[in-house]
Structure 1
């Protein structure tokens, strides 16, 4: 085992210390980085790291990635922010490599946290600000409050040292925020004493500006101790312990990586599978960097989704691959043989697969229910499998067959969601539905057979009864996640017009109802075009109802004589009409 100083390692990050392709992405939050630095100053052990030593020539043949320095915590950030990255950038193959190159197999999160804290920054989006504006994002760096007393300070996390990510340096009567990255420029004792003297002078000025401070000597002593502890942890003590793997055997390294990541707190399972795919797909021609390819596809899929959201992730692409190959959709590491990884690569290289994923994203985006809520294995993987098996059939709503397929898939999504397909058994249900689709001889989506098979195995189906709908009406209200699926079925087999901005809102506004009225009931909710919604909210309800056409009232299940009804009568009558519509239009 090697022991090294933090400064020595951080100075060589992205030169001699790089990441192998089998590594996952950085996933820590600012609180995790703060905890790590607190542990270092308290002289707590932070665990050993594992490095894979390769010669420059051997390393040249391996796909490699740089450690993140300036991290942005969401993938969909504006391109005008050129400094931060959300994923580990690929290593430039033209950059010279030392010998040995140290590829970090275990400890990437800690090493990246040290790099961000000591040389980089963390970009965060302001609360409720749009993702696509650069002004929504704040660059924060790690600071240490030198005036805090580690003997008494005790945050809710149990930390003794007052570290914080902040947008700028500041000083108050109780805080002198020292930028942690400045400690990296202090290389010897002369630098140390010069920096400490400058800090003491600034604190003396601070004390002079705040005559109410009574414990000036204690504050200066705290500052001296905190600064010395930080300098010692970074430059003096050998805090980092490295185990070394010297075998140039990618299979052995892959096995080591999986084993060390299956113990303790398991990393993101999708990232481990992606690491194995990346390793395997590089071994035989055509060589493919799975990591780059999958991330690129994820970005393209999210680019299809309206509103700048990013619902698609690595796991969604992988589970479709596993479904198409006939595997268990649930992650099981003992299934990930070289044969499986080769099969996934073959599917990936087909012309059908990328078209399937694009068609899937476009289809889900065209429906009203939020895409994020559809991305449960039991919903999206059977749909993707159906598209792939049928070589991406037409879903054009202007053709008879295309419109029929769209309607069947939409019904499946809504009915499966409302009938519990997305429960804890969602992976197993997804596999069963996939198998039913595989056995279907026609190119139609086999709703009835799916319903019967799932009912036989799991006791639920795609069918609705009066009892089931009554329960849904009692459970679902305005703001509940599944309400949009129920309201969508109130229009089935019609879809909301594509390209329209729909919203869920109250028919009778809360503002005109007495407090005891339950305005959030299903019977008082509907899908409204945004413009219609605004028009309604500005008008008296009776006047607004008089302005509605008969077609509108029929489409939205407005009962006859609604204007003369009490609120309770109106809601009861409308819920009865919605129930009758859903029961009548079940496609069985």
Structure 2
């Protein structure tokens, strides 16, 4: 491949909004470089170091621009939270130059010289050059990114784009009195040479005939630099090959819609949405695709890509339904979905049986409850941690091999898969009891929360989707210096308003009152009858050393019953 060169300034000019000669194809990844990467890049430029090569494809616009595969985008001039790409309107047959490799570097230079970085406070931060710092200085960086800087020794890097010729540069130096300070003049002259004189932008010209050829070249050329994982590659193929769906925009929109259900936790990403999609999609024979993304990539051809496009709408609705259930079960607000792969068995069961989650029939309600129990236990047991592809394969098999004529959710079979792939083996009530006895408040809060959601959520109206629940000590730590005061037997799941109302009131005064009925006590596994009679008549709420271990036993029995364990 023959390479050409031009100055960095000319390359940025072509990438800028003033020119838009360089554009991004639909397959390109979002801009991912951080501010620290930008500082390193410009430090290398200032020192005269090579910054790598780019790959450009000079072609003609073709096809319906309403489709994602044929759209082209402007190179971003800002780094924002959304990283939104702006489409470039082009005409059929128009000459365009697409950046296949080097996008991150070119975008970084465009942001530094023409745009800004948006901070968490929504301030527009820009890059500045410190004229005091010589290229040989190893202790101080010559570039800084900030909303503003103090000192005449700093100039905004935006000014660099005013230096297109030597005359314009010298005029800038004179107007700003930079020539009066010898060191400043020497350093800014060095920067001018690096950007506008040296032909440091080196690029190869892609000879692809079609977009398909360009994708193949894109895959090879992006095998270095910021890691391009299997999901990025599949997204590249889908975004340039789907006929009726803008894959990149569809996935981005779905991620945003689902994460809105999860308060602040935002568990879903482009990678996880695509991974889950591929795990519930089928090939031409009606078989599920491999659980390994790398194996899917090997078999990704035009027919499979079209088949995936046809399955997207069903998947989109189904995963939205699953997240609606998770929201209904209270797990979304609590931020307890720590593994998005855990939704795959539930999602596949919904899709296989065309389950209507709004149905109020007894059969649907009972099986949705079994699905809830499985999801919670899979999160408790870390079933999809580590080598999750194997767990995905086994749980998918269990779902598919369950009775085709029955809606029944295969809880028992999935729990066996959980024993195989999870951290713990739960065969019976004794195993549950042993597990609970080793949990401790603070250290195991996420697990304790999941267990108590499992129990409380099994009761009618036990969990309200819009209510925040807190882990609360039944007996306060300050009044009871018992060694087991942080055991799960002393922890309950309490609505935040009740927790505030409770304050440090003694359980005997709080739970043994008319304010809380039997249903409340039962769903929290608290004694409905406060009179403890096994070895005498006394109020159990007066004896934490008896209530706490006794409650652990009852929690174990309840959980074992919910999981249908002996």
The alignment's TM-score, normalised by the length of structure 1, stands at 0.81
Aligned equivalent of 2:234: 273
Report the Cα offset of residue 466 of structure 1.
2.7
In structure 2, which of residues 426, 430, 451 is the aligned counterpart of residue 486 of structure 1? 451
Aligned equivalent of 1:88: 85
Aligned equivalent of 2:117: 122
Counting only pairs closer than 5 Å after superposition, residues 529-568 of structure 1 correspond to structure 2 as: 529-537=495-503, 539=505, 543-547=509-513, 548-559=516-527, 560=530, 561-566=539-544
In structure 1, which of residues 57, 66, 75 is the aligned counterpart of residue 74 of structure 2? 66
Aligned length: 532
Aligned equivalent of 1:381: 344
Is contact 1:394–1:401 with CA below 8 Å preserved after alignment? Answer: no
Aligned equivalent of 2:536: none
Cα gap change, 1:456 to 1:549, in 2 (>3 Å): closer
Cα deviation, 1:62-112, whole Å, max 9, x if unaligned, reads 321222212213x4xxxxxxxxxx232222246x9963x211111111111
Is contact 1:24–1:272 with CA below 8 Å preserved after alignment? Answer: no
In structure 1, which of residues 377, 385, 406 is the aligned counterpart of residue 368 of structure 2? 406
In structure 1, which of residues 334, 355, 361 is the aligned counterpart of residue 298 of structure 2? 334
Aligned equivalent of 2:11: 9
Provide the C-alpha distance between the structure 2 equivalents of 1:467 and 1:456, rounded to a whole number of angstroms.
15
1:320 is the counterpart of 2:270: no
Is contact 2:78–2:118 with CA below 8 Å preserved after alignment? Answer: yes
Report the Cα offset of residue 513 of structure 1.
4.3
Is contact 1:5–1:238 with CA below 8 Å preserved after alignment? Answer: yes
Provide the C-alpha distance between the structure 2 equivalents of 1:509 and 1:151, rounded to a whole number of angstroms.
65
Report the Cα offset of residue 356 of structure 1.
0.9
Report the Cα offset of residue 413 of structure 1.
0.9
Cα deviation, 1:309-341, whole Å, max 9, x if unaligned, reads 533222233223322221123321323232321
* Mean Cα deviation higher: 516-525 or 293-302: 516-525
Aligned equivalent of 1:213: none
Is contact 1:356–1:392 with CA below 8 Å preserved after alignment? Answer: no
Provide the C-alpha distance between the structure 1 equivalents of 2:213 and 2:345, rounded to a whole number of angstroms.
35
Counting only pairs closer than 5 Å after superposition, residues 194-343 of structure 1 correspond to structure 2 as: 194-197=171-174, 199-200=176-177, 220=181, 222-263=183-224, 265-282=226-243, 287-303=244-260, 305-307=261-263, 310-324=266-280, 325=282, 326-332=288-294, 333-343=297-307
Cα deviation, 1:530-553, whole Å, max 9, x if unaligned, reads 211211226566543444434323
Aligned equivalent of 2:285: none
Provide the C-alpha distance between the structure 2 equivalents of 1:149 and 1:16, rounded to a whole number of angstroms.
34
Provide the C-alpha distance between the structure 2 equivalents of 1:52 and 1:189, rounded to a whole number of angstroms.
31
Aligned equivalent of 1:78: none
Unpaired runs of 5+ residues, structure 1, are 76-85, 126-135, 155-159, 205-219
Aligned equivalent of 2:535: none
1:345 is the counterpart of 2:309: yes
Is contact 1:122–1:139 with CA below 8 Å preserved after alignment? Answer: yes
Provide the C-alpha distance between the structure 2 equivalents of 1:509 and 1:34, rounded to a whole number of angstroms.
54
The alignment's TM-score, normalised by the length of structure 2, stands at 0.84
Cα gap change, 1:245 to 1:412, in 2 (>3 Å): same
Cα gap change, 1:309 to 1:458, in 2 (>3 Å): closer
Report the Cα offset of residue 507 of structure 1.
2.1
Unpaired runs of 5+ residues, structure 2, are 283-287, 531-538
Aligned equivalent of 2:148: 168
Aligned equivalent of 2:129: 144
Cα gap change, 1:59 to 1:187, in 2 (>3 Å): farther
